[in-house]
Structure 1
Amino acid sequence: MSHASATAVPPAPPSLSRAARRSLLGASAVAALGGFLFGYDTGIISSALLFIAPEFGLSDGMQQITVASLLLGAIVGVLGAGAVTDAAGRRRTLLAGAAVFAIGALGSAVAPGVEVLIGARLLLGLAIGTASLTVPAYIAEIAPAHSRGRLVSLNQLMITVGIFVSYLIGYLFDDSEGWRWMLGLGLLPALAMLFGVWRLSESPRWLLGRGRREEARAALLRTRSPEAADAEIAEIEALAAAETRTSYRDLLRPAMRPAVILGVVVAATNQLVGVNAVIYYAPTMLKQAGFGSSAAILSSLGIGLVNMVLTFAALLLVDKVGRRPLLLGGTSVVVLALVLLGALYLAGDGGRPASGGLLVAGLCLYIAAFAPSLGLAIWLINSEIFPTAVRGKASSFGNVTHWGLDFAISLTVLTTINALSPTGLFWIYGAFGVLGVLYLHRKLPETKGRSLEDISASLRG
């Protein structure tokens, strides 16, 4: 039976004081600096690679390895972050991630050769993998149900802002070929995050899970009335009392299996429609289509702007329209854009599209549909569907799927284009998108306005 209909009528959202709203937004924004760094450090390589490749004499294969090294680090980061964030807490894990972001950015900027650059990008990947799991979990656990969608999606907005800023920095340093500045400027937001997280309180749900009830209540009182804080504590404790300590093996048992599979499918669809082929290699594709390096980066800047603006629009809609309409409708348009992009190359000549302008328009349509759907969904859905006590471990299944497929795609984009043509590449991505839409239409519940405990209970097998 589908879980899509398992929804509850949400209660009227409680009103928050201005100070409470400011505190909640401030804490979410500081944590979401991890999303900004995620976007910046993944996006900046697309511009920097245009100058790193000739300076270090990199082949297509070595370019792919340089890009993919960050993603290999992200896989390791996610594998370790689930247990670390459950054991050490969300705040300490965010602090450690910010410190590694800073070290990785500095190492990338001073790299004397490709080997050191790859090592520094592995470190950045560790931080990105950690942030991709911990930031949404932390925000989801401090946010009231009625505003959780917007606040968790702030992480995805900051990812798109980071990508846009990376393209802008790439364009500004294009004339000087200053790839070291491009990579090294990631140090500044890393230091800002380190300072900001130091001042945050721990997640109240994590504190309750460790028996630190008074600390948890004090944290909730920053953004809740005393009555709302007590009611939320009672709800969390009631569910926690029914749960035993859970291992990774326990997550594969029938009770947890539906939620785990859903998290994995959302993450897999996010990657298998090829978004990071666009994010990492858009300037390279555009240059192969006949654009100069400055024009290619400037066109990518336009794609990044569309990504950021549509993500912001989705942020305003996600708690009104709901998760299902945005995800299913947007993914369907993503598939349509992939079909059109493949046809554009099919009508072209010698591996070039029929029109460079139409290529940019098609990529903008693709990213405009992806941003408010799969772009939001991977972090939001995986932060909502698991019980608090196992959220770190359970979310890591979706995160490992995301980063594992991201690694595979980044390592094969250029070679797949050479083997199957751009048309084959885009149409393969489109076929995966169709499979994802069909599964999510049947299994994805609407989570708008529901408590985390209610959502996780409804997904029990």
Structure 2
Amino acid sequence: MNTVGTLLNAEREHSSYVYAIAAIAALNGLLFGFDIGVISGALLYINETFALTPFLEGVVTSSMLIGAMIGAAIGGTLSDRFGRRRVTFAGAVVFFVGSFGMALSPTLAWLVFWRVVEGVAVGAASIVGPLLIAETAPPDIRGALGFLQQLMITIGILLAYTTNYLFAPDLFGIIGWRWMLLFGAAPAAVLAIGTYFLPETPRWLVEKGRIDEARDVLSRLRATDEIDEEIARIREVSETEAEGGLADLLEPWVRPALVVGVGLAIIQQFAGINTILYYAPTILTNIGFGNVASLVGTLGIGVVNVVLTAVAILLVDRVGRRPLLLVGTAGMAVMLGVLGLGFFLPGLSGIVGYVTLGSMFLYVGFFAISLGPVFWLMISEIYPLHIRGTAEGVASVTNWGANFVVGLTFLPMVDLIGEGYSFWILGAFCVLAFYFIYTRVPETMNRSLEEIEDDLRANTAVGADADRASPQQTD
């Protein structure tokens, strides 16, 4: 059944509890997205308070990514040890505290410090949210539910852009950017409360030998005749493997999955998405828009991001992961070419400026149906159970590291060689990304996590010679 049909017949096909878990777990993405988006508008006003150079703007933006690398590095291991639910709650608390810390920062150094602290929560959230969804969702809707994480990221970005617009004026004598950063405490509180209603995942419970608890959770997630079979299959996989660590990622049969996960992590960032999400208002002011007009234009980017991610949810379990990745990277390459060209033409504040803005919209749209959601979905699917959290942590740390490099260097690069050449460099990388995806990335649609692991062991699902016909395989 295609994704549209599955979602329309949700109550008949699957327990509503499946969707409730996915919705709460995806709130991790809301925190993730809010923190990405809020700094873009806040920078316009932080700069007025602390007189930032282009380099210091990069430091403020990318300092969160240092924390995110730390959170991603420990989040996977902690979720393997203590469970997905506990790590989710801890991340929400850290994010809540960090929001207050940033808003009350008396100096630039304190602002950077609290950005790092909040980044720890963002990094952990980027791992544990997809894990919770992947390990509770039925195979036939795992893709669509997995995309809820990315949908919530885009909603978080849009919420941040809206917050930036609403709190741009100073209120009660408090500078607007402080209100922008403080508002992040609200979604953090919602996630912390929502965690109360989350169960631990059946796969983690089986891994820890808590079979009765796993059966109880599955009884609320699956039809009765599926429970014993699924537990038996999870145990079969779990009992053949000891709990693994980083060294296990280098085993020959796991290495192809490591290459795919790390490769997609680098591609997602070096394709340039955060040059738009972080710096859209800055880019728009350079084109000739005023501060408020730039924030309105950024809102439009946020809407495109949300709408196209919703479209991707309807496509991922219908057309597959690989086609979305290939179409998306090709479209991004073309749009970055157009965007770069716009900066070589005169009159950016006129029609060329709006063409440039339109290319930004389309670029974000292509990202939203491909690299944005598919990366996080695939790294929750392709790794073996016994190292899934650790492996996802490695991919996520790589992603945040690449994000840090882009966030720190983009504005200085623009200052050195100009916007046009900078965007063309990113476009060239999208071309390389297309080649990597075509030759290395497998299809995982309509396959259980255990089947994907079996195929990985047989070296048929992940790697350079991945079977291109796998989208036709079903459970």
Instruction: Name 1:438's counterpart in structure 2.
Output: 435
Alignment partner for residue 292 of structure 2, among 294, 298, 322? Answer: 294
Q: Once the two structures are superposed, what CA deviation does each residue of 1:11-45 show, in whole Å capped at 9, x if it has no partner?
A: x9898756953211111111111100110111101
Instruction: Name 2:161's counterpart in structure 1.
Output: 167
Instruction: Name 1:283's counterpart in structure 2.
Output: 281
1:414 aligns with 2:407: no
Question: Unpaired runs of 5+ in structure 1?
Answer: 1-11
Cα distance in structure 1, aligned partners of 2:408 and 2:127: 23
Instruction: Name 1:312's counterpart in structure 2.
Output: 310
Cα distance in structure 1, aligned partners of 2:440 and 2:456: 10
Alignment partner for residue 250 of structure 2, among 246, 249, 252? Answer: 252
Q: SS where residue 254 of structure 1 aligns?
A: coil
Cα distance in structure 1, aligned partners of 2:259 and 2:112: 33
State how 1:119-130 maps to structure 2 within 5 Å: 119-130=113-124
1:196 aligns with 2:194: yes
Alignment partner for residue 85 of structure 1, among 79, 83, 96? Answer: 79
Q: Residues 19, 115 of structure 1: CA spacing in aligned structure 2 closer, same or farther, 3 A cutoff?
A: farther
1:184 aligns with 2:178: no
Alignment partner for residue 228 of structure 1, among 221, 226, 241? Answer: 226
1:58 aligns with 2:52: yes
Q: What is the one-letter code of the residue matched to 2:73?
A: L
Q: What is the one-letter code of the residue matched to 1:271?
A: Q
Matched length: 449
Q: How high is the TM-score relative to the length of structure 1?
A: 0.94
1:325 aligns with 2:323: yes
Instruction: Name 1:271's counterpart in structure 2.
Output: 269
**Aligned-pair distance for 1:439?**
1.4
Segment drifting more, 410-419 vs 14-23: 14-23
Q: SS where residue 223 of structure 1 aligns?
A: coil
Segment drifting more, 296-305 vs 428-437: 428-437
Q: Once the two structures are superposed, what CA deviation does each residue of 1:174-198 show, in whole Å capped at 9, x if it has no partner?
A: 2335111111111111111101102
Cα distance in structure 2, aligned partners of 1:431 and 1:19: 44
Q: What is the one-letter code of the residue matched to 2:321?
A: R
**Aligned-pair distance for 1:422?**
1.1
Instruction: Name 2:69's counterpart in structure 1.
Output: 75
**Aligned-pair distance for 1:310?**
0.2
**Aligned-pair distance for 1:116?**
1.4
Q: SS where residue 295 of structure 2 aligns?
A: helix
Cα distance in structure 1, aligned partners of 2:116 and 2:359: 32
Instruction: Name 1:5's counterpart in structure 2.
Output: none
Instruction: Name 1:26's counterpart in structure 2.
Output: 20
Question: Unpaired runs of 5+ in structure 2?
Answer: 460-475
1:98 aligns with 2:92: yes
Q: Once the two structures are superposed, what CA deviation does each residue of 1:414-447 show, in whole Å capped at 9, x if it has no partner?
A: 1100112112111111111111111111222211
**Aligned-pair distance for 1:353?**
9.3
Alignment partner for residue 151 of structure 2, among 154, 157, 176? Answer: 157
Instruction: Name 2:466's counterpart in structure 1.
Output: none
Q: What is the one-letter code of the residue matched to 2:28?
A: G
Q: Residues 33, 200 of structure 1: CA spacing in aligned structure 2 closer, same or farther, 3 A cutoff?
A: same
Higher relative contact order (CA 8 A, sep 6+): 1
Q: What is the one-letter code of the residue matched to 2:258?
A: V
Q: SS where residue 370 of structure 2 aligns?
A: helix
Q: What is the one-letter code of the residue matched to 1:23?
A: Y
Q: SS where residue 246 of structure 1 aligns?
A: coil
Cα distance in structure 2, aligned partners of 1:187 and 1:46: 18
Instruction: Name 1:382's counterpart in structure 2.
Output: 379
Cα distance in structure 2, aligned partners of 1:245 and 1:214: 20
**Aligned-pair distance for 1:354?**
7.4
Instruction: Name 1:6's counterpart in structure 2.
Output: none
Identical counterparts, % of pairs? 42
Cα distance in structure 2, aligned partners of 1:373 and 1:452: 21
Cα distance in structure 2, aligned partners of 1:175 and 1:198: 36
Q: Once the two structures are superposed, what CA deviation does each residue of 1:219-270 show, in whole Å capped at 9, x if it has no partner?
A: 1111112211111111111122222332201211211000010011111111
Native 8 Å contact 1:344 1:353 kept in 2: no
Cα distance in structure 2, aligned partners of 1:348 and 1:226: 67
**Aligned-pair distance for 1:147?**
0.8
Instruction: Name 1:458's counterpart in structure 2.
Output: 455
Q: What is the one-letter code of the residue matched to 2:49?
A: E
Cα distance in structure 1, aligned partners of 2:281 and 2:57: 13
Native 8 Å contact 1:236 1:453 kept in 2: yes
Native 8 Å contact 1:288 1:352 kept in 2: no
**Aligned-pair distance for 1:199?**
2.1
**Aligned-pair distance for 1:325?**
1.1
Q: What is the one-letter code of the residue matched to 1:33?
A: L
Q: Once the two structures are superposed, what CA deviation does each residue of 1:75-96 show, in whole Å capped at 9, x if it has no partner?
A: 0111111210100110011010
Native 8 Å contact 1:29 1:154 kept in 2: yes
1:36 aligns with 2:30: yes
1:148 aligns with 2:142: yes
Q: Once the two structures are superposed, what CA deviation does each residue of 1:300-332 show, in whole Å capped at 9, x if it has no partner?
A: 100110000000111111111111111111111
Alignment partner for residue 405 of structure 1, among 399, 402, 406? Answer: 402
Q: What is the one-letter code of the residue matched to 1:380?
A: L
Q: Which runs of 4+ in 1 moved over 3 A?
A: 12-21, 351-354
Cα distance in structure 1, aligned partners of 2:152 and 2:314: 14
